[in-house]
DNA sequence: TAGCCAAGTCAACACCTGTTGACCTACGGT
DNA sequence: ACCGTAGGTCAACAGGTGTTGACTTGGCTA
């Protein structure tokens, strides 16, 4: 009977992810999620405590960033763009997180954490691995700069996802993967490795 | 007594804009808006019919784009970035529209319309004014391209606004106006006038 | 086989939502 | 002075929300 619990838990989580992704935090009701999972609403409370904790469990996410420092400098933007599109499309978690983070403070905090804790360090490794600038031990400047670069990448990555997957702006939704990478790649590369004037 | 009606209407609209901008569509309740405006909730219905129509009135927005074709080609990105930041900061309407458009389909439709009807044509004027390419009468290719460019600009403009004003990512919120324009300007310029590879 | 306990069901709670209709109130034109 | 009417108030409605607690079921262990 233990197995039944794990399975139920999984079904609830899957239904929650779909609902949060489709409707956002407030419009995704526990009753609707329970109905999708074909269980009683009280079960959701039993397994996750309350709606906030359910969302927290449903929106857990790992960007699974590759090691950027192993890539040629000119390909890093295209590679990261491709990786973002992959992560976005093989799971509804990111869509759920984005939709919720616009009106829910806890979700927004998680989004901030995502870029600060996962993208920031990956970018830092990029700059410290750069020959010629690694000699200086000035961590403060280097990490502040990495955080800024992570923020800039976030503006373009989240903006593209917003327009394509949430708002469905026709010209953005119509882009092929290749076109999207061709347009965004150079932008991301500049944010990752360029200086302020290009 | 006619004046009282106009004033009340204005007070309601101002309160509605603030609430929609701060809370999004569903969490901004008519009761809260009425309380902010220091009037009875029933007055909101009297003046605007229902919540949807109230939002439609509160989120009316004109980008007031300048004539892009009068600007030097290299400055157009920086100029547009500055204009966007201005329009974003001197009014809460855009923030209300963005927050709502993530969970409300009517608001999303309005957002799509904003970029299709206002930014698209402005960009089209840019490309038709270009010497050397204006000769051809191929409107289909030219306008499709303008729509795509408008979409790309939207991804960066909305993404930046999302990260800075809604999610408040620390490194993005910390950028000065000059830094923001220096980073985004070249990106917008490329989306407006560049070809796909830069 | 008996009994315990996890898994699941059911009905209700207290609250909040948009919206409605009946009622007051006070000014402007006659 | 009077009264129609525009502006404003009040209480209630029907429905939906997250959440709770008492109850039933059924498989595993002792």
Greater confidence (B196 vs B153) lies with B153
Tokens matching residue A30: 């526990």
CA of A161 to C1' of D8 (A): 46
- pLDDT mean over A167-186: 98
Nearest to A156 among B156, B164, B166 (CB): B156
Q: Report which of B105, B84, B106 is spatially closest to residue B95, judged by C-alpha positions.
A: B84
Residues of chain B with C-beta less than 8 angstroms from the C-beta of A23? 103
Put simply, the answer to whether A160 touches B162 (Cβ < 8 Å) is no
pLDDT at residue B40, rounded to an integer: 98
Confidence of residue A80 (pLDDT cuts 50, 70, 90): very high
3-state helix, strand, coil in chain A (%, to 5): 75, 0, 25
Q: How far is A152 from B174, CA to CA, in rounded Å?
A: 11
Nearest to A171 among B23, B24, B148 (CB): B148
pTM of the model: 0.92
Across A6-15, A128-137, B76-85, least confident range: A128-137
pLDDT at residue A128, rounded to an integer: 64
CA of A40 to C1' of D25 (A): 15
Residues of chain A with C-beta less than 8 angstroms from the C-beta of B185? none
Q: How far is B155 from A103, CA to CA, in rounded Å?
A: 20
Mean pLDDT for all residues in chain B: 91
Hey, how many other C-beta atoms are within 10 angstroms of the C-beta on A117? 11
Q: Is the pLDDT of residue B144 over 70?
A: no
Confidence of residue B74 (pLDDT cuts 50, 70, 90): confident
CA of B11 to C1' of C14 (A): 33
- pLDDT mean over B66-90: 95
Residues of chain B with C-beta less than 8 angstroms from the C-beta of A150? 171
pLDDT at residue B196, rounded to an integer: 74
Q: Report which of B167, B112, B151 is spatially closest to residue A167, judged by C-alpha positions.
A: B112
Residues of chain B with C-beta less than 8 angstroms from the C-beta of A164? 155
pLDDT at residue A177, rounded to an integer: 98
Q: Is the pLDDT of residue B79 over 80?
A: yes
Residue at minimum CA to C1' distance from nucleotide C9: A40
Q: Report which of A66, A80, A61 is spatially closest to residue A21, judged by C-alpha positions.
A: A61
Tokens matching residue B42: 């029933």
Q: How distant is the Cα of B111 from the closest Cα of chain A, in angstroms?
A: 8
Confidence of residue A129 (pLDDT cuts 50, 70, 90): low
- pLDDT mean over B99-105: 97
Phi-psi region of A28 (alpha: psi -120 to 50; beta: other; left: phi over 0): beta
CB distance under 7 Å to strand C: residues:
A 1-2, 4-5, 8, 39-43, 46; B 1, 28-32, 41-42, 44-45, 50-52
Q: Report which of B193, B185, B196, B195 is spatially closest to residue B84, judged by C-alpha positions.
A: B185
Which of A84, A97, A147, A152 to probe the B interface (max B CBs under 10 A)? A152
pLDDT in tens, A34-76: 999 999 999 999 999 999 999 999 999 999 999 999 999 889 9
CA atoms within 13 A on the CB side of A117: 10
pLDDT at residue A136, rounded to an integer: 42
Q: Is the pLDDT of residue A142 over 80?
A: no
pLDDT at residue B135, rounded to an integer: 40
pLDDT at residue A126, rounded to an integer: 83
Which of B21, B163, B175 to probe the A interface (max A CBs under 10 A)? B163
Q: Is B28 helix (H, G, I), strand (E, B) or coil?
A: coil
Contacts of A157 (CB under 8 A, 6+ apart): A81, A84, A188, B159
Put simply, the answer to whether B196 touches A179 (Cβ < 8 Å) is yes
Q: How far is A117 from A146, CA to CA, in rounded Å?
A: 11
| Inter-residue contact B153 to A152 (CB < 8 Å) | no
Q: How far is A19 from A15, CA to CA, in rounded Å?
A: 6
Q: How far is B26 from B193, CA to CA, in rounded Å?
A: 39
- pLDDT mean over A121-150: 65
Q: Is the pLDDT of residue A165 over 50?
A: yes
Sequence-separated contacts (24+) of A6-12 with Cβ below 8 Å: A8/A37, A8/A39, A8/A43, A8/A47, A9/A47, A11/A37, A11/A38, A11/A39, A12/A37, A12/A39, A12/A43, A12/A44, A12/A47, A12/A48, A12/A54
Tokens matching residue A134: 């690694």
| Inter-residue contact B34 to B89 (CB < 8 Å) | no
Put simply, the answer to whether B157 touches A154 (Cβ < 8 Å) is no
Size of interface A-B (CB pairs under 8 A): 155
Mean pLDDT for all residues in chain A: 91
Hey, how many other C-beta atoms are within 10 angstroms of the C-beta on A40? 12
């Amino acid at each position: 009977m233990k197995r039944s619990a794990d399975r139920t838990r999984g079904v609830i989580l899957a239904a929650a992810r779909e609902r949060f992704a489709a409707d956002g935090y407030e419009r995704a009701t526990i009753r609707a999620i329970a109905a999708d999972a074909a269980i009683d609403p009280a079960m959701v409370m039993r397994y996750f405590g309350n709606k906030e904790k359910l969302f927290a469990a449903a929106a857990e996410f790992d960007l699974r960033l590759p090691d950027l420092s192993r890539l040629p400098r000119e390909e890093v933007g295209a590679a990261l763009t491709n990786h973002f599109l992959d992560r976005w499309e093989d799971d509804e978690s990111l869509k759920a997180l984005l939709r919720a983070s616009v009106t829910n403070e806890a979700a927004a905090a998680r989004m901030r954490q995502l870029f600060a804790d996962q993208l920031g360090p990956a970018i830092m490794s990029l700059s410290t691995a750069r020959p010629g600038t690694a000699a200086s031990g000035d961590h403060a400047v280097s990490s502040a700069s990495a955080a800024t670069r992570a923020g800039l990448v976030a503006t373009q990555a989240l903006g593209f996802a917003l327009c394509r997957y949430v708002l469905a702006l026709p010209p953005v939704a119509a882009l092929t993967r290749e076109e999207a990478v061709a347009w965004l790649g150079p932008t991301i590369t500049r944010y990752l490795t360029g200086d302020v004037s290009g």
